[in-house]
Amino acid sequence: MKPALIRGDTLVASPWKNGGGITREVAAQAPTWRASIADIDRPGPFSRFDGIDRLLVLLDGAGVVLGEQVVGHALGLARFTGETLIDAQLIDGPVRVFNLMTQRDAARASVDVWQTPGTRVVSGDTVLLHCARGTLDVRVGGTHISLTKMDTLRMDEADAVEVGMQGDGALLCASLETEVRS
């Protein structure tokens, strides 16, 4: 298993399904799951995605209210279904979020936030290590990779992989399991 490096400055911006914001796809396994970075610069409705579970992490900005959930601090997390009618309200200006969407009957996702150096073990059909802030030196096996904000490492078939992290940043670890049945 060799990690694939996805540099943040290579991500392509495209409009949301409903035209209310901009997204940059980080990685996907269509139609099972999709990870992206979204910029929300005005209040308004989120696109509806039937059969999709959504997970959102605040990367930049003062915060966002998503229906009943307030994400008011950096690296705060919200979970909701794609059927939920969400009208996003910005707390104090634009925000940037990490957005993870999974097809409910085919995949399951979890996200952990790592803010302290150390070594952890990760597993998943796919694991995404996303640099949410700062600069990080990440070690996967014998490979050392420097990450800056918005960079992501993708590891497929990650079975108990040891990951070391050093630096002054924060790393999101998204683990995805596919072929999940309800």
Give the per-residue pLDDT at 21. 80
Domain residue spans of the chain: 4-104, 109-178
Whole-number pLDDT of residue 170: 97
Measure the CA–CA gap between 39 and 36, rounded to whole angstroms: 10
Same fold, 4-104 and 109-178: yes
Q: Is the pLDDT of residue 151 over 80?
A: yes
Residue 133's SS3 state is strand
Q: Is the predicted pLDDT of residue 181 greater than 60, yes or no?
A: no
pLDDT in tens, 107-116: 999 999 999 9
Q: How many CA atoms does the CB half-sphere of 152 hold within 13 Å?
A: 26
pLDDT at residue 17 is higher than 90:
no
Pick the closest to residue 149 from 133, 129, 165, 170 (CA basis): 133
State the DSSP string of 22-71: EEEEEEEETTTEEEEEEEE-S-EEPPP-TTEEEEEEEEESS-EEETTEEE
pLDDT band at 180 (very low <50, low <70, confident <90, very high): low
Q: With beta carbons less than 8 A apart as the criterion, state whether 46 and 88 touch.
A: yes
Higher pLDDT, 67 or 6: 6
Domain 4-104 has CATH 3.40.50.720: no
- What mean pLDDT do residues 85-102 have? 94
Q: What is the pTM of this model?
A: 0.94
| CATH T-level assignment (fold) for domain 109-178 | Jelly Rolls (2.60.120)
Cα-Cα end-to-end distance for the chain: 29
* Lookup: tokens for 130: 């996303």
